[in-house]
Chains A and B, each alone.
Chain A
Amino acid sequence: MTGAGRSRRTIVLLYGSLTVLAIVWLVPVISAVMTSVLPLSQTRAGWWNLSFADLTYRNFVRAWDQGLSHYVVNSFVITILSVVLTVAAGSLAAYAYARMAFRFKATTYFLLITTMIVPVQIILIPMLPWFRTLGLSGGPQEYLGIALVHTAFGAGWAVFMIGSFFATIPEDLLEAARIDGAGWFDVFRRIALPLAVPGIVSFAIIDFVFVWNDLLLALTLLAREHQPLTVGLANLQSPHLAQDDLVAAGSIMAILPPLLLFAALNRFYVRGLFAGATKG
C-alpha cells in the first residue's frame, strides 16, 4: 500500500487526525512533566503559561530528600529480586513444559495458567498471617516474601511466554546434541537456553514493568520501610496537601525506569518477537 493511489485530501486527513489524537494522548504526560519542572507558584497559574526561565530541577531534589529515595531503592530491590527469581525458576519449568513429557503435566499447566486470570485478591487476605508463620515478615525478609508472591503470580506468564520460545527450537538440534552424548542438562544449558534468550529477555522486560508497577501487593504485604515507589506515590497524593510539585516529580521517577528499559531494549525485544514468529 503506497500513497500513490489516494487523493491528497485523504492523506492530509489521515496524518492530521492521528497527530491530533497523539497530542491529546500525550497531554497528561506533558502535564506531569511540566508540573515537575516548574515551581509550584508557576503551576498554580497554569503550567501552559510557562516561561522557560523558571524551569527547575529543585522539585526532584526535594522529593528525593523527603523520603522518595527510600521508596526508589525498595522498588529496585523488589523488582530485581522478583524478576531474577521468576526468570530463573520460570525458564527451567518452561523448558520442561515445552519439550518433555511427565505426569500431571496438563493439570499443573492448567493451574499455572489460571494465574493469568484470577485476581491477586484470591491470595491476599490470608497472606499476612502466612508470612508471619513462614518468618517472612518484620524485616528485610519481606523483600523475599513479596518476590516469591510475584514469582508465583508470574509463573503462568513465564511458562507460557518462555515456553513458546523453547517450543520453536527444532527437535533435530536437541537430538544431535543428545547423540553426541550430552546429558539433558547440557542440552538445556548449551543448546536450548541460548536459543531462547530473546524470549527470556522479552519476558524479563514485561515482568519488570509488571512488578515495578504493582501497588496492591506491596501496599498490603510490606511494612512501611520496605514499600516501593507506587505506594510512596499513593501516600504523597492528597488533595489537601498543596504539593503537586513533589507528587509530579515522584510520578516522573516512577514512570522513567520501565520506560527507559523499554526504550533501551526495544530493538532486542522486537527482534526476539520476529525470531519467534519466523521460526514458528
Chain B
Amino acid sequence: MASRPATAAPTAQEEAVGAQAPRPSRPRTARRAGRRERYAPYLLIAPLLAIFAGFYLWPALVTVLSSFFEWGLLRPWSLVEPDRWDFVGLANYSETLTDPSFWNAALNTAIWLVVFPLLVASFSLLVSILIWYLSRGGAAFRTMFVLPMTISLAAAGVIWSFVYNPDPQIGMLNAVLDKLGILGADWRLGPLELHIGAWLSDPGVLHLGFADIRLTNLALVVPAFWVFSGFGVITLTAGLTAVSYELVEAAKVDGANAWQVARHVLVPALRGPLVVVGVVSVIFALRTFDIVYVMTEGGPAQDTMVLALLLWQQAFAFLDTPQAGLATAVAVLLSAVLVAGSYRYLRQLLAGRPR
C-alpha cells in the first residue's frame, strides 16, 4: 500500500511538526498519525456502514431477488442454495397486479394518501396561524397539540378504540352524539350513505357508480392524523417565525383584515414548510401498518386493509402457504412508489447538506 503520495505527504508534515517541537519521538508519531489520517474517514464510517450493509442493504437485496421466486417462511429462499430455488420469473408481480385483494388494499392506501396529508396540512395550518396571532400563551397551546406526537400508533389505536366504542355509556364520541340526539341516525346525502355511531364496523359508504368506498378507513385515518399533526404544527410555527412583522404591519396599514393577512401574507410564506409536511405525511401514510393492525386488523371483511398490512399477512400470518414471494413483490412495488414519489424531496435533502 506504499503508493507515492501516501508516503510523500506524511514526510512533509513530519518535517513541519518536527520543526515546531524538536523532541526525538515526535517525527515517528507524526508519520503514524499522518498515515492514519488517510484511513480516518473509513474507520469512522465502518461500524455504521457494516451494520447498515448487514441489516438493510443485504436484506433489501434479498427481498428484491427473492421476489422472482416462490417461497414461504417454512421454506425460505436462500442465495447460496440454488438447488432449492423455485424460479417463477415475474409471476409474483403479475399475480399481485391481477389480485382483487391487492387492488382493494391499494385503493384503501390511496384513500390514506389523499385524506391523511390533507387533514394534517389543513389542521396544522389553522392551528399554527391561530397561535401566531397570539401575543402570549402560544407555546403552551403548541405543546398541547404536539403532545400526541410522542404516543405510539399502537397506544393511539388503543386509546381511540375507547373513544370510538359504540356503546354511548363507554365511548365518549357516541355519548356526545347521543346527547345531540343523532346517535344511530342513517343519513343519505346524494351518493353518501352515513350510519352515525358505528365507527369501526360500518360508518357509511360513498357510492361512486363504478366503486363503493367504505368510510371505515376514515375512522382509522383520524387517530393517525391526531398523532402526526404535531409534526405539522412544529414545522409550520417554525416557518412562521420567518415572516417579518413589517410586512404584516404594511398589509394592515393598507386595510387588510386578519383573514386577508393570513391568506395573502402568511400562507404564501409557508409554501416551503407545507411541502415538507405534505411529503413527510405522504411517506407516513404509505407506511401505515400499526393503527390498522391494532384497531381492525384490516376488517371488517377487507374494508380497512392497506398494502403494508396485506404484505405482512401474506408473509407472516399464513405460514404454511408459500406466499412470501408475493409479499416481497408487494414490498418492492410499495418501496418503488415511495422512492419514485419522494425522489425530488430526497435530492433536496441531499442538496441542503454542507459539503
Which A positions have Cβ atoms within 8 angstroms of B? 1-3, 5-6, 10, 14-15, 17-18, 21-22, 25-29, 31-32, 35, 43-46, 48, 85, 88-90, 92-93, 95-98, 100-102, 105, 108-130, 134, 148-149, 151-153, 155, 158-160, 163-164, 167, 181, 183-185, 188, 209, 212-216, 219-220, 230-231, 233-234, 237, 239, 244, 247-248, 250-251, 254-255, 258-259, 262
Q: A22-B144, A28-B163, A113-B346 are in contact. Are A119 and B334 (CB under 8 A)?
A: yes
B102 within 8 A of A: no
Contact B51 A155 (CB under 8 A): yes
B169 within 8 A of A: yes
Q: Which residues 27-73 in B have Cβ within 8 Å of A in the complex? A: 30, 33, 36-37, 40-42, 44-45, 47-49, 51-52, 54-60, 62-63, 66, 73
> Quick one: which of A89, A95, A115 has the most chain B CB within 10 A?
A89
Contact A5 B76 (CB under 8 A): no
B19 within 8 A of A: no
Contact A255 B150 (CB under 8 A): yes
Chosen A-B contacts, 8 in total, with CB atoms closer than 8 Å, are A14-B134, A18-B127, A46-B169, A97-B45, A124-B315, A219-B293, A230-B155, A250-B158
Contact B162 A48 (CB under 8 A): no
B328 within 8 A of A: yes
B147 within 8 A of A: yes
Contact B151 A255 (CB under 8 A): yes
B220 to chain A, nearest CB (A): 14
Contact A234 B163 (CB under 8 A): no
Q: How many residues of B contact A (CB 8 A)?
A: 97
Interface-located stretch among B83-91, B182-190, B204-212, B282-290: B282-290
B229 to chain A, nearest CB (A): 8
Interface string of B315-329 (1 = CB under 8 A from A): 110000000100110
Contact A100 B134 (CB under 8 A): no
Cα-based distance from A96 to B38 in the complex (angstroms): 12
A17 to chain B, nearest CB (A): 6
Contact A118 B141 (CB under 8 A): no
Contact B51 A89 (CB under 8 A): yes
Q: Which residues 230-260 in B have Cβ within 8 Å of A in the complex? A: 245, 248, 252, 258
Contact B56 A119 (CB under 8 A): no
> Quick one: which of B21, B30, B141, B248 has the most chain A CB within 10 A?
B141
Closest to B295 in A: A237
Which residues of chain A have C-beta atoms less than 8 A from B161's C-beta? Answer: 237, 239
Which residues of chain A have C-beta atoms less than 8 A from B153's C-beta? Answer: 213, 215
Cα-based distance from A44 to B346 in the complex (angstroms): 49
Contact A28 B331 (CB under 8 A): no
Contact B335 A121 (CB under 8 A): yes
Contact B147 A29 (CB under 8 A): yes
Which residues of chain B have C-beta atoms less than 8 A from A125's C-beta? Answer: 63, 66, 311, 315, 324, 327-328, 331
Closest to A32 in B: B159
A70 to chain B, nearest CB (A): 17
B226 within 8 A of A: yes
Contact B45 A124 (CB under 8 A): no
Q: Which 6 A-B pairs have the closest CB atoms?
A: A213-B152, A129-B76, A152-B55, A123-B59, A96-B44, A102-B41
B267 within 8 A of A: no
Cα-based distance from A261 to B308 in the complex (angstroms): 30
Closest to A112 in B: B52
Contact B154 A215 (CB under 8 A): yes
Contact B226 A262 (CB under 8 A): no
- Residue of A32, A113, A122, A184 near B63 (CB, 8 A) is A122
Contact B55 A151 (CB under 8 A): yes
Cα-based distance from A244 to B172 in the complex (angstroms): 14
Which residues of chain A have C-beta atoms less than 8 A from B154's C-beta? Answer: 213, 215, 230-231, 233-234, 254
Which residues of chain B have C-beta atoms less than 8 A from A153's C-beta? Answer: 56
Known contacts A125-B327, A126-B77, A237-B158, then 13 further A-B pairs from the complex at CB < 8 Å, ordered by chain A residue = A22-B145, A29-B148, A117-B339, A119-B334, A119-B335, A123-B56, A125-B311, A155-B51, A183-B33, A213-B153, A215-B152, A234-B294, A237-B161
Q: A123-B55, A126-B62 are in contact. Are A212 and B152 (CB under 8 A)?
A: yes
Cα-based distance from A78 to B156 in the complex (angstroms): 21
Closest to A185 in B: B40
Contact B145 A111 (CB under 8 A): no
Interface string of B154-187 (1 = CB under 8 A from A): 1111111111000001101001000000000000
A158 to chain B, nearest CB (A): 7
- Residue of B21, B49, B160, B245 near A181 (CB, 8 A) is B21
Q: A1-B245, A125-B315, A213-B152 are in contact. Are A130 and B59 (CB under 8 A)?
A: yes
Which residues of chain B have C-beta atoms less than 8 A from A185's C-beta? Answer: 40
B1 within 8 A of A: no
B9 within 8 A of A: no
Contact B162 A31 (CB under 8 A): yes
Closest to B77 in A: A126
